[in-house]
Amino acid sequence: MLYVTYDNEAYMNTGIQRSSSTPHAATTTTSPAGKERMGKRHLKKDLLSIIAAHHIPYAASASVAYPQDLQRKVRYAMGVEGPTFLVIHSPCPLGWRHDSALTIEVARRGVECGLFPLVELERGALTNIMPIRNPRPVSDYLELQGRFSHLFREGDYRAAEELDHLQALADHNIATYGLRGDGVDPVDTTGVAQVKRGGPLAGRN
């Protein structure tokens, strides 16, 4: 049985309130940025690691920016005996405060900067990743979203500190999962997004 979580990083249907999945420093209706704080104080809950720690047969992360990778993971999960889990990173234009036309670009940058790593785990062990060919700074991802606009105020030392903190989180993900690519790879963040003759490239599984 495949369980799927669509991760839009807040309670979007009820008024854009913060949730455990809301990223650190993001502003929501219940964690507004202001004089006392720079958005949400706590880290985003790592749901995938929590699920994988129970050693289920298969757990993975995916993104709407890479539909062929998502499709491959769903097919693989459906063929596994026992419970499987997939968390899908899915931007919400209203809650994240970006133009809807930028949805895929925002999602792609989230993966390319390392804040949302695309990985696969089987019984708790890492079995596959999507390498990042050219890692972006987290600012490239955050600057497209109004919920992080307070982090780009000139002269505000708190904003600079939070940006450094978020960059450190991304760098940690890249190092922990070994996400930095090595040259050209047909299934890295650049290669897997390309459609060639015969259709989208398949993944490793």
Q: What does the pLDDT look like over 9-30, one tens digit per residue?
A: 999 999 999 999 999 999 999 9
Residue 153: inside a domain: yes
Rounded distance, CA 50 to CA 59, Å? Answer: 10
Tokens of 147: 């919920």
Tokens of 102: 């930028």
Tokens of 153: 């105020």
**Sorting pLDDT into bands at 50, 70 and 90, what band is 139?**
very high
pLDDT of residue 148: 98
Whether residue 190 has pLDDT greater than 50: yes
Q: Which residue has the higher pLDDT, 199 or 155?
A: 155
Enumerate residues 6+ apart whose C-beta is below 8 A from 195.
201
Q: Burial, 121: exposed, middle or buried (Cβ in 10 Å; 0-12, 13-18, 19+)?
A: buried
Residue 109: inside a domain: yes
Q: Compute the C-alpha angle 39/95/20, nearest 5°.
A: 55
Structural domain count, the chain: 1
Residue 100: inside a domain: yes
Residue 205: inside a domain: no
Is residue 49 within 8 A of residue 55, CB to CB? The reply is no
Q: Name the residue type at position 114.
A: G
Residue 186: inside a domain: yes
pLDDT of residue 183: 86
Reduced to 3 states (helix: H, G, I; strand: E, B; else coil), residue 123 is: coil
Q: Which domain holds residue 47?
A: 2-200
CATH of the domain at 8: 3.40.50.970
pTM of the shown model: 0.91
